[in-house]
Amino acid sequence: MANFEIRAKDGLARLGRFSTKHGTVKTPLLMPVIHPGKSIISPKDIVDVFGFQMVITNSYIINSHEKFREKAIAEGVHGLLDFDHPIMTDSGTFQMYFHDLPEEEIDPLAILEFQKQIKTDIGTILDAFSKPDVGREKVEKDVELSLERAKMSVGKKDEMMLAGTIQGGIYEDLRERSAKAMGALDFDVYPIGGVVPLMEMYRYSDIVRVTLATKKHLPPDRPVHLFGCGHPMLFAQAALLGCDFFDSASYAKFAEKGRMLLTTGTVHLKDLSELPCECPICSNTTAEELKALPKDKKDLALMRHNLYVSAAEMRRVRQAIADGKLFELAALRARSHPALLEALQVMTENMDQLIESDPFGKSSSIFYTGVETAVRPEISRFHERVLSRYPFKTTDTIIIVPDIGERPFSDTASTIIAEVRKRKPEEVLLMFLTPMGVIPWELEHVHPAQQCIFSKSVDPVTLNISKKRLQEILEIITFNKIVWFERESPTNQLSKGLSDQYNLTKTTTASETITAIENLDSEKSDWYIRKLRAVLMYQWGENAGDIANKEGIQVVFSRSTGKIRHVTLENEIIFTVVPTTGLLTPTFKGGEILLHANIDSTFLVTMEKDAAEFVAKGRSALAKFVKNASSNLKAGEEVLVVDNESNLLGVGRTLLSGVEMLVFNRGVAVNIRHSRNI
């Protein structure tokens, strides 16, 4: 049974909880490697002083030394290390690779039994390590050997949790083959193995490729462990790719060579005149004093520094996931080294995989970090939803207003907006063209429309993406002419070439723009219904849009922000709006209206009979009681929770995707906002 649950998501990253017999840990997490006979810093201090939650040690080393082996057998690995928190053990695969040991050096079943005997929390199979420079034929054999050993081992794990390592070298198809086969076996953790040499050679882009290939085929309810990843400058990007566990002995190995780990790379103490860090070590001494220490004391000080920096970065990663800001942290770290930036570029080329996992309805601001910003999941998904769900497909005139988006559109284009409010969508549509792409006026308050902060000098790649998105929007709308309101904005230059395709008029003032559409016969327009319809369809699809036309519907706006506050029907609130996202949240009555409108079944979550009454009382819908959920449902959506007879139990926001709801047996699937009996 899986012991993992998700609390928040960002990209492929998961903020989670993993339970063991020795406690529950928060993920993503880093496990410092502990050598049973060489560790200068005690495992207790790893937790109490540096704030780590879990350690990893090597069962092969323990088994190979009589004094370690006897104590571990007698007192367990926890007694050997004098440590009462969770411990993971490796099997010796890396030692066989590193020391070029013969294949028969370690017996796969014997090392498994030894790990059970010393009562480790998580053991690891003996897999076959593939070096990066060997040919495909050898890697294929290693994949098959690893799978053969996995099948031998998994049925013998008993009460010990077991990690099944994915191999495949640099070959993405072999990684996928390995992940599919291993993912079908009942492992508790899935490490991605064979990447340490890639890290040592700064082949970070290869790590991105093999990680994404692996993640596609692993059970979503099990943590993924990037074996040997211990440098803090890589944590953010690896977590964004969906890695939950990390481990490394780098803190000690680097220290022994006089090297200091930083989030921006590695520095040599001998080259420093100042200590570039705020940790307790660097804050309480000087570079010269540190250099003058005896070797053993200097090594210890550097180890402590490396642990402080690594622990702080992992905390920073977890907070970034909670805030929806991990992409920016990864982009920032990528500027530390060209190889990391190349890896980020590879990730952006595979953005569909991140978009598939990234939660809907984020509220955090988006800071421009470079060419990767325009294809971030939040921005790409906004554009895709506009293309597929924007309700107004026929008009006479489209007004395009270039804008950097640094201020509300109601401030920068108030005169034009006032005129558009008088018109029906069949007469005129208003589109703001920003570096993120096209923002229809009706969706101006929907995240991330006005949460993107771009610099005034935007790179050509971003502008090309914005122009492509403009072209895609224009292709789905039937219109007679475009009025282009020229302004000082990086996107103003994107009008070039449009005159050759469309009937385009350029204006330089708001009054000119209005004059360009004045010849239209205007009728009274209920502009607030127009906005409501667009948001309803953006969230729940075409059928939901009809709710805006119900007799008696009223929209209440905030006087200070101009945003929708809530929607009423016959004086009863049916929707409220989250100010930071611009999205609608239904009351229970609103949920009933959505249900009767026959919205897409994607937004229905069906509960098992035994759990229905608890959800009806307002309790969270737990994943293990979800009977049915759509594979197209994303985390972060506002959904209707129903029973077997499609009776509404409650409305709420999903914490998991539909696929995850049907796989996880721990944690919350839907946080219920309003329920039938409350």
> Alpha-carbon Rg of the chain, whole angstroms?
28
Residue 547: both structure tokens together = 């709710």
DSSP letter string, 159-182: TSEEE--B--TT-HHHHHHHHHHH
The one-letter amino acid code at 339 reads A
Q: How many CA atoms lie within 13 A of 274 on its CB side?
A: 3
Separation CA 245–CA 52 (nearest Å): 12
154, 162 Cβ separation under 8 angstroms: yes
Which among 439, 394, 644, 390 is positioned nearest to 541, based on CA atoms?
390
DSSP SS3 for 485: strand
Q: Catalytic residue among 82, 84, 90, 643, which?
A: 90
Cα–Cα distance measured from residue 471 to residue 459, given in angstroms and rounded to the nearest whole number: 19
Residue-wise burial string across 282-321, b where 16 or more C-beta atoms lie within 10 A, e elsewhere: beebebeebeeeeeeebbbbbbbbbbbbbbbbbebbbebb
Q: Give CA–CA dist 513/415, Å, rounded.
A: 10
Q: HSE on the CB side for 556, CA within 13 Å?
A: 12
Burial class (CB in 10 A: 0-12, 13-18, 19+), 204: buried
Structure-token pair, residue 393: 């497909």
Q: Give CA separation, 107 vs 125, 166, 186, in Å.
A: 10, 19, 21
DSSP letter string over 4-73? Answer: EEEEEEETTEEEEEEEETTEEEEESEEEEB--TTT-SS-HHHHHHTT----EEEEHHHHHHSHHHHHHHH
Rounded to 10°, the helix 338-349/232-240 angle is: 0
| Class of residue 274 by CB neighbours under 10 A (exposed 0-12, middle 13-18, buried 19+) | exposed
Positive or negative, the Cα torsion across 347, 199, 237, 659?
A: positive
Residue 48: active-site member: no
CB atoms within 10 A of CB 270: 9
Residue 436 CA to residue 365 CA, distance in Å, equals 13
- Which amino acid, residue 65? H
Which CA distances in Å does 640 have to 463, 575, 605?
39, 13, 6
Q: What whole-number distance in Å separates Cα of residue 447 and Cα of residue 362?
A: 7
Nearest-angstrom CA–CA distance, 612 and 670: 13
Phi, psi at residue 294, to the nearest 5°?
-60, 155
d(CA 448, CA 322) in angstroms, rounded, equals 17
Closest CA to 250 of 31, 29, 48, 86: 31
Taking the CB of residue 677, how many other CB atoms lie within 10 A of it?
A: 11
User: Which residues belong to the active site?
Assistant: 90
